[in-house]
Amino acid sequence: AQSVTQLDSQVPVFEEAPVELRCNYSSSVSVYLFWYVQYPNQGLQLLLKYLSGSTLVKSINGFEAEFNKSQTSFHLRKPSVHISDTAEYFCAVSPSGNNRKLIWGLGTSLAVNP
């Protein structure tokens, strides 16, 4: 069975510091990988996704994630965070690209402090 593990439930960091939110998955089939973000009092929204091709994918607000098949990881990184990045981040995998079978991690709460 597929599963997603987000290794850190909470990540406190100072503004302008780098951050890495870790995500590992287990699957016996090929998967597509996603990071969703939930800002305070808002719905979840897609941050970035890996479907195929380049293993490094980027979002419009400076986040990037790299698919590492050998380590079954899809860690999310940003070299310099802002206060506005404070949010809950969810990693998800989709076996065989089936939307309704998205498997979700428990989320990582990123708190950016001044």
The residue among 28 and 41 lying less far from other proteins, judged by its C-beta, is: 41
CA distance 30 to 47: 21
Position of tokens 């951050």? 19
**Minimum separation from the CB atom of position 76 to other proteins (A):** 15
Give the footprint of other proteins on this chain (CB under 8 A).
4, 32, 34, 41-46, 49, 51, 90, 92, 94, 97, 99-102, 104-107
**Minimum separation from the CB atom of position 45 to other proteins (A):** 7
**Residues near 10 by beta carbon (within 8 Å), at least 6 away in sequence:** 108, 109, 111
**Minimum separation from the CB atom of position 92 to other proteins (A):** 7
Burial of 67 (0-12, 13-18, 19+ CB in 10 A): buried
The residue among 22 and 49 lying less far from other proteins, judged by its C-beta, is: 49
